[in-house]
Amino acid sequence: MLFVHGAGGGADLWRYQTAYFPGSVAVELPGHPRGQGFQTIEDYAGWVRGYVNAREIAPVVLVGHSMGGAICQWLAIEHPEMLRGLVLVSTGARLRVNPQIFQALEGDYEKAVDFMLESSFGPLAPAQLRQEVKRLRLKVPRVIVQGDYRACDKFDIMDRVKSIAAPTLIVSGTEDVMTPVKYAQYLQSQIGGSRLEQIHGAGHNVMLEIPAEFNQVLERFLNSLEKEGHDPQ
């Protein structure tokens, strides 16, 4: 199982999952915070494909959050042979970005991060978690975050997402205002045989805010793959 983080994020955002699922891996996309990032979902997807191929670990269960979900959708469409299963977390088939985010990123970077994080958590998320995620986000250079959001803003596969054939789980927090539940519902309506799980009280960072329930939902999906003969292990 391979976890792919979202815009401005990092591998550590999946720490509750990699600790719970032995053998799973969370990638750190280029530029987050080291190296050169990209400005298209296609380029990030190409990097993830290269990561998987270099380690000869395909087929994998791909789990993507937000921008990571866009990357995983792209791979599911363009390279279905890579996937044993697909988990889309707090994401959509189109990820238009609020123009105020681009404006904020032109100014004071810490204030921009604060602005972006305002819509990243549900009301139950503790202040300590918010501060921890802020600290992690500030490690990623401004130019990388700008490129990430440009990539998201250009992403639109609403007319192609129905071609995804991999067994798919869609997870959404009921309090997510960045990628609302209607985004997840659209994915579920388009991807044949997919299932939608809503985690009550969670915002955009559902896997961090309510990790125990998230892990249980993911574990049930993995178990279903095994029963259906997809052998997620």
pLDDT score recorded for residue 92: 98
d(CA 24, CA 26) in angstroms, rounded, equals 7
Instruction: Give the Cα separation of 11 and 136 in Å (integer).
Output: 10
* 27 phi/psi in degrees, rounded to 5: -80, 155
To the nearest whole percent, how much of the chain has pLDDT over 90?
Answer: 96
Q: Would you call 95 helix, strand, or coil by DSSP? A: coil
What is the C-alpha separation between 76 and 69, in angstroms, rounded?
Answer: 10
Give this prediction's pTM: 0.96
Give 166-213 pLDDT, tens digit per residue. Answer: 999 999 999 999 999 999 999 999 999 999 999 999 999 999 999 999
- Token readout for 162 is 């129905």
Q: What amino acid occupies position 168? A: T
Three-state DSSP state, 79: coil
Condensed to tens digits (0 to 9), the pLDDT of residues 6-18 reads 999 999 999 999 9
Mean of the per-residue pLDDT values of the chain: 96
187-192 long-range CB contacts below 8 Å, 24 or more apart?
187/88, 187/91, 187/92, 187/93, 187/161, 190/93, 190/158, 190/161, 190/162, 190/164, 191/161, 191/162, 191/164, 192/162, 192/165
Residue 233's pLDDT is what?
39
Q: What pLDDT does residue 232 have? A: 43
| CA atoms of 198 and 165, how far apart (whole Å) | 22
CATH fold label, 2-227: Rossmann fold (3.40.50)
